[in-house]
Amino acid sequence: MNIAIRSLLVSAIVLSLAACAGKKTMSDPVDTTPPRSTDTRPATPSSDPFADPDALSKVPCLQNRVVYFDLDASDVRGEFSETLACHAKYLSMRASARLTLEGHADERGTREYNLGLGERRGNAVRDMLSTSGGSSNQSSTTSYGEERPTCQESSEDCWSKNRRVELVYTAK
């Protein structure tokens, strides 16, 4: 009888081991490596519009390249902060991009004063681009003062169009 109990016990153990063989226990190692892709197609381009080589002509916020100023002010008007943030993002993503900031003034004031004002305005735009993520090494400032007006009339409406900084990309 001893032999019968032993063989019954061995059979029970073998059967229980066979039943558990398919189950994973906590001590079984888990394969965490991701499966390899067999797809040989090139990666899809980034959905970021700034990654496009033609972003300057396609992204709406980059198409606005003029910032206007109040009378005798060298502080950027708040309504242009979003535009400048957009240009700063473009500059931060493209280390090769170069920008000339052309400062302008209206016809009132002396030539020297207006040249200085145009430079201060260009520097204000450069500083705002830098604080928004653009590199100050990517931009230079040129002042034209009152020498290149967009409007020739002697009216406040016309003068307001001449108080500006134009963003001119010299390299993409």
Q: Are the C-beta atoms of 134 and 127 separated by less than 8 Å?
A: no
- The kind and range of the H/E element at 87 are helix 81-93
* Residue 112, H or E segment: helix 111-131
- Say what the alpha-carbon torsion angle 45, 49, 50, 53 is, to the nearest 10 degrees: 60
Is 42 part of a structural domain of the chain? no
Query: What pTM, to 2 d.p., does this model score?
Result: 0.69
The tens-digit pLDDT sequence of the chain (172 residues) is 566 556 555 555 655 555 555 555 555 555 555 555 555 544 445 567 777 778 888 999 999 999 999 887 778 888 999 999 999 999 999 989 999 999 999 999 999 999 999 999 999 999 999 999 888 899 999 999 999 999 999 899 999 999 999 999 998 8
Contact 143, 119 (CB under 8 A): yes
144 is in which domain, residue-wise?
51-171
* 130: in domain: yes
The answer to whether position 20 is within a domain reads: no
**166 φ, ψ to 5°?**
-100, 135
CATH number at residue 164: 3.30.1330.60
In a domain, 26, yes or no: no
The structural domain count of the chain equals 1
